[in-house]
Amino acid sequence: MSDEASVVAQAKVNLLLRVLARESSGFHAIETIFLRLDLGDEVRVRIRAGERSLDCSGPAMPADGLGDVVRNLAYRAGLAYADATGWPLGFAIEITKQIPVGAGLGGGSADAGAVLRVLDALAPNPLGRRLVELAAGLGSDVPFLSLDSPMALGWGRGERLMPLPVPPTRPIVLLPQSFGVSTAEAYGWLAADRGTYAPKADVIDPANLTTWEGLVAVATNEFEPVVGARHPEILRAVEALRANGAAIAMMTGSGSAVVGVFDAAPDLNRLTSETGLRAVLTRSASRVVPVKRVE
């Protein structure tokens, strides 16, 4: 039996992101629609005795690296799995970064979810459905990115998930900014700008989320106006996508990347020229890439 496996850690976008009232714990509950993309990091995990390591490289690596290894979500995912199950004693994680860092595309969370999925595929006693519960302790995007579903409606801190039938795949254009946005700062700006939270009167019906028409009707991100007020280039990028025919154009997550959903791939050179940003073309995912054992 192989002691090594790999998988593509697919990026995500939020086609809906509502931030609900702050809980007594200090955390905010959310309501969101997660959608995986074809774009992803390459994650490989090898089981070994005792030693634990993480190595990151690739075109999306920041010039100053990813910081302290012990704070890295993928490394923490390996530790969490070992602590919860008593296995493995050691591991070597290798990540080739393709997802822009700090962009709201869930790159770190995708890597963490991929590590959990790979370890569960290799484990002598897999956690199976309990993997999502373990993922919840790592961050609000990690449960979805450890789930075998390309799209889901999420509540709470992202740990309550309803898998959704994915609509036909469509071209997705990403406009990553040259800067990242701190999620903690984004929450602080939102709280300062809107004051006391007033709940939305409308209720999301999952039955309406199986088509692009239904998704267009609900697509909104409550972080976008408050983050955009501090970084107006984000709002300009949203308008550029709309002007070029995007059915959905919005910031994803807490920023800073902007995402456009198109019926047909637009002129990337034109978008780059209009925004000064490198337009990245990918597609909405039709499936979750399976874990592959390395023979």
**Shortest CA distance to 241 belongs to which of 213, 283, 216, 274?**
274
**For residues 159 and 285, what is the distance between their CA atoms, to the nearest angstrom?**
21
**For residues 28 and 46, what is the distance between their CA atoms, to the nearest angstrom?**
36
292 is catalytic: no
Residue 284: is it exposed, middle or buried by C-beta count within 10 angstroms (0-12/13-18/19+)? buried
**Catalytic, out of 12, 97, 111, 120:** 12
141 is catalytic: yes
Greatest Cα-to-Cα distance within the chain, rounded to the nearest angstrom: 56
**Shortest CA distance to 37 belongs to which of 230, 266, 259?**
259
Other Cβ atoms less than 10 A from the Cβ of 199: the count is 8
**Catalytic, out of 55, 64, 141, 292:** 141
**For residues 205 and 116, what is the distance between their CA atoms, to the nearest angstrom?**
31
Annotated catalytic residues are 12, 141
